[in-house]
Amino acid sequence: MPRSTGIKRFAGMLMAGLFATLATSAQSDSVVTPGSKAAGMDTCVAPTAEMRRYHMEYLKHDRVETVRQGVRGLKNSLADCVDCHAAKDGNGGYLSINADGQFCDRCHNYMAVTLACFQCHRKTPADQDASSAKTSTGNQGHAFGLLLDRGESAALTAEERAQFQALVREE
C-alpha cells in the first residue's frame, strides 16, 4: 500500500522544487570554470544531468573500492574532479577547487550543502606529468558542468522525471 507520510511528501516537494529552480531561469549558464581543463573538453565521465544528481554516489562507491580493495584507476575519482575542474590562479598555480566561487563551492554554497571532502583531500591538481594527461573519449555531446548549458532544455525528460519520482518515493 503506497502511502507517503507527510514528511516524505514534503521532502519530495522540496527536492522537486530545488531541482526545478536549478534547472530553470536564473543560472542557465554552465558553471564550468573558464580556463579549467574541463572547459576544453566536451564531456564529463557521465552525462551532465547524471553527474548533477549522482556524483556523490559515484564517488562514495568508488572510494570504498579504492581504499578497501586497492582498486585504483576507477572511473569516478575525486582527484580527477580536481584535475579537470580547478581553475588556474594566473601565477602558474591553481585555485583551490572548494574556494569561494570555485567549482565545488558554487553549487554547494547555493544548495547549502557543507562539503567535507577537502578537509582531507588535496584541493588542487598534483603537479602534472605527461602520463596523467587524459583525453576525452566520450562522444555523447553532453556539456560539462553541474548546471545546464545555454540552449539545453530545462525540463526533465519523461524518463528522467519517472526515475526521479521513483527515487523520492522509495525512501
Partner 1 sequence: MSNKDDRPDMKRREFIGKTVLAAGAASVAPGVLLTVAKAGGESRGVSSDVRYGLLIDTNKCADDCTACVDACNRENGIDLVERPKGQSDDDWNAQRPQWIRKVQLKDKQTGEITNLPMMCQHCEFPPCVDVCPTGASFKRADGIVMVDRHTCIGCRYCMMACPYKARSFIHQNVAQQLVNAPRGKGCVESCNLCVHRIDAGDMTTACQEACEKDGHQAIVFGDLKDPDSKLAKLLKTKSSRQIRADLELNTGVRYTNV
Residues that bind partner 1 (CB under 8 A): 57-58, 61-65, 67-76, 79, 119-122, 126, 134, 137
Around Cβ 1, how many Cβ atoms within 10 Å? 2
CB of 142 vs partner 1, minimal distance in Å? 17
Whether 2 contacts 8, CB under 8 Å: no
**CA-based torsion, 21, 22, 28, 31: positive or negative:** positive
List the one residue out of 107, 132, 128, 104 whose CA is nearest residue 118: 104
Residue closer to partner 1, measured from CB, 20 or 71: 71
CB of 119 vs partner 1, minimal distance in Å? 4
Residue closer to partner 1, measured from CB, 5 or 119: 119
Residue closer to partner 1, measured from CB, 80 or 106: 80
For residues 68-92, b (16+ Cβ closer than 10 Å) or e, as one string?
eeeeeeeebbbebbbbbbbbbeeee
CB of 134 vs partner 1, minimal distance in Å? 8
**Cell numbers at residue 93, please?**
598555480
Residue closer to partner 1, measured from CB, 151 or 171: 171
Question: Packing angle between helix 78-85 and helix 48-69, nearest 10 degrees?
Answer: 130
CB of 111 vs partner 1, minimal distance in Å? 22
CB of 5 vs partner 1, minimal distance in Å? 22
The rounded Cα 35 to chain-centroid distance in angstroms is 18
Q: Which residues contact 34 (CB under 8 A, 6 or more apart)?
A: 87
DSSP state of 13: H
Residue closer to partner 1, measured from CB, 9 or 61: 61
